[in-house]
A and B are shown apart, each in its own frame.
Chain A
Amino acid sequence: AQKVTQAQTEISVVEKEDVTLDCVYETRDTTYYLFWYKQPPSGELVFLIRRNSFDEQNEISGRYSWNFQKSTSSFNFTITASQVVDSAVYFCALSETGTYKYIFGTGTRLKVLA
């Protein structure tokens, strides 16, 4: 069965610090997709990234970067030089091609303090 674990419930950092949010997944499929979403205090869910299981290249988008490692079933998210506006709940999600369900982790609440 597919499962996503975000062990960090809440993280607090001071502005300009780097922070890494962990995501570990379980799946029996060889083809699957991983996602990160951001939920700011306003409540909407904002898509950040989609990655398929065959693409292990790390990705960088501005201050955001993602480290995908199949060997450890992890898809971690790093924010460099964090800002107060990064304060939100971040969700990791998995979709298997077999079931086509999108299963979300429990989220990590990030607080960036000025």
Chain B
Amino acid sequence: DAGVIQSPRHEVTEMGQEVTLRCKLISGHNSLFWYRQTMMRGLELLIYFNNNVPIDDSGMPEDRFSAKMPNASFSTLKIQPSEPRDSAVYFCASSSRTSGGAGELFFGEGSRLTVL
């Protein structure tokens, strides 16, 4: 089975531009998480969805950030307009939430964003 797939793997853009990061979940998983990793702040949870519904977006840093899950297998994270401080590695992760509790989080390979 394919793992979590993220695109693009690398993105370099200029300040003010719109950035869209994409994530395809593992088939059968019903929870989706977006994390941001920087040296200063480590792995921060930005938002997570369960069964396509956003459950907690308290980690989204500003209104410039938005995330959607239009269907059970796909999600986007958009930054508009982007700023240099948004430079980071963005990870998407999925898991299967069952009556057995929190399962293993499967991570994508990450999208490295550089905003100049």
Q: Is A99 an interface residue (CB 8 A)?
A: yes
Q: Is the CB of A33 within 8 A of B43?
A: no
- Residue pairs across A and B with CB atoms within 8 Å: the count is 55
From A35, A52, A99, A104, B104 is in contact (CB under 8 Å) with: A35
CA distance A91 to B42 in the complex (A): 10
Number of residues on chain B facing chain A (CB within 8 A) = 24
User: Are the CB atoms of A31 and B101 closer together than 8 Å?
Assistant: yes
Residues of chain B with a CB closer than 8 A to A95's CB: 101-102
Q: Is there a chain B Cβ closer than 8 Å to A97's Cβ?
A: yes
A106 to B102, CA, bound (A): 21
Cβ–Cβ < 8 Å partners of A103 in chain B: 45
- B48 adjacent to A52 (CB under 8 Å): no
Chain A contributes a number of interface residues (CB within 8 A of B) equal to 24
| Chain A CB within 8 A of B56 CB | yes
Which residues of B are interface residues toward A (Cβ below 8 A)?
Answer: 31, 33, 35, 42-43, 45, 48, 50, 55-56, 89, 91, 93, 95, 97, 101-107, 109-110
**Could you say which of A91, A97, A100 has the most chain B C-beta atoms within 10 Å of its C-beta?**
A100
Q: Residues of A with Cβ closer than 8 Å to B?
A: 31-33, 35, 37, 43-45, 47, 50, 52, 91, 93, 95, 97, 99-107
Other A-B pairs beyond A37-B105, A43-B110, A100-B50, 20, CB < 8 Å: A32-B102, A37-B107, A43-B109, A44-B107, A44-B110, A50-B102, A50-B104, A95-B102, A97-B102, A100-B48, A100-B55, A100-B102, A101-B45, A101-B48, A102-B33, A102-B45, A103-B45, A106-B42, A107-B42, A107-B43
